Amino acid sequence: MLMGISDMDPEATPRVEALQKGLQELGWNEGRNIHLDYRWTAGDVDKAQLFAKEIVDLKPDVIVVHSSPAVAALRRLTSRIPMVFVLIADPIGSGFVESLAHPGGNITGFMNADAPMAGKWLGLITEIAPNVRRVALIYNPRTSPYESFLRAFDASAKQLGLEAIPTPVLDANELERAIAELGNRPNSAFFVVPDVFVQVHRALIVNLAEQYRLPAIYPYRFFPTSGGLLSYGFDTVVAFRQAASYVDKILRGASPGDLPVQAPATFKMVVNLKAARAIGLTIPESFLVRADEIIE
């Protein structure tokens, strides 16, 4: 397993346990008929390249990989070892697979959110904060498949009459400067491309949004549980549980190129009312009744 986050991240243990439990239910038990090796990159692109080589040198039967930089690093090193990716956006645009239905090659897996979700997120921002006139899309060009999201973001913003602000950042300092600059412009909001960079820096992002009183929407539940305003996305732990089914198929002889890439089927909306109060936002009751979870 080549993981894009740190082993100290609160999301790390639930994800690993979900994969392990899924494998156990399919007859694969650690110490009896399967062994798992782990590497944790903590969002570091250089570590992803280093650990990718270590993993390929181990000659595993299959690799479970999380984060686009990690998939890219592995893809440069092997076209033979089967890989199952988890939480990857735009695997076609990133060049990982030929198509979703017929991936081809040695890579398949489970997506997180695709580019058209940008329109949904923009719509939710304007619904929860109708005074917003400009929205930034924050992304790290080294770690995220941002181009397709930018196209969808720009098109959706035009339809909604919003000013679209593409905001590339490469590190925490640039992230802080970008959000501070946005915070100095009235009626602004932002959302983030779902990737490992924003997950690693979620505490900073959430704190800055509150500091500059910016409405923001996020792709994962762990943002509002960390103090963020709103998320619309799917359960990332479930994706790791699902990945076990593809690991099982591959270990029993299936080719990853014949296993279709799967997209999330269920999305949930989570609202943090404490975060709303902190930025002076009153969320309409008509919006709250549609939420799947409300954090008081």
Chain centroid to Cα 147, Å, comes to 15
Q: Is residue 142 part of a domain?
A: yes
Give the pLDDT score at 159. 94
Asked if residue 132 and residue 90 are part of one domain, the reply reads no
CA–CA separation, 154 and 163 (whole Å): 9
* 275 and 151 co-located in one domain: yes
- Residues 142, 285, single domain; the answer is yes
282 shares a domain with 146: yes
Give the range of the structural domain holding residue 165, as residue numbers without chain letter. 117-233+268-295
Query: Do 181 and 248 reside in the same domain of the chain?
Result: no
Residue 265 has a CB neighbour count (10 Å cut-off) of: 7
Report how far residue 16's alpha carbon sits from residue 267's, in angstroms, rounded to the nearest whole number: 21
Query: What is the reported pTM?
Result: 0.92
Residues 13 and 125 in one domain: no
In a domain, 168, yes or no: yes
**Same domain, residue pair 127 and 227:** yes
Domain assignment present for 243: yes
Does 50 lie in the same domain as 148? no
Same structural domain, 169 and 121: yes
Do the domain assignments include residue 242?
yes
Is 73 a domain residue? Answer: yes
Alpha carbon distance 10, 4 (integer Å): 13
Q: How confident is the model at residue 188, as a pLDDT?
A: 97
Tell me, yes or no, whether 167 and 280 share the same domain: yes
Decide if 122 contacts 162 (C-beta within 8 A). Answer: yes
Q: Is residue 148 in a domain?
A: yes
CA-CA-CA-CA dihedral for 108, 111, 116, 120, to nearest 10: 170
Do residues 157 and 205 both lie within one domain? Answer: yes
Q: Is residue 18 part of a domain?
A: yes
Report the pLDDT value the prediction gives residue 61, as an integer from 0 to 100. 98
CATH of the domain at 281: 3.40.50.2300
Do residues 283 and 182 both lie within one domain? yes
Print pLDDT tens along the chain (296 aa).
999 999 999 999 999 999 999 999 999 999 899 999 999 999 999 999 999 999 999 999 999 999 999 999 999 999 999 999 999 988 998 999 999 999 999 999 999 888 888 999 999 999 999 999 999 999 999 998 888 889 999 999 999 999 999 999 999 999 999 999 999 999 999 999 999 999 999 999 999 999 999 999 999 999 999 999 999 999 999 999 999 999 999 999 999 999 999 999 899 999 999 999 999 999 999 999 999 999 99
Nearest to 218 by CA among 181, 261, 268: 268
Counting the structural domains of the chain, the total is 2
Is residue 263 situated within a structural domain? no
Distance CA 15, CA 23 (A): 13
Confidence at residue 268, expressed as pLDDT on a 0 to 100 scale:
95
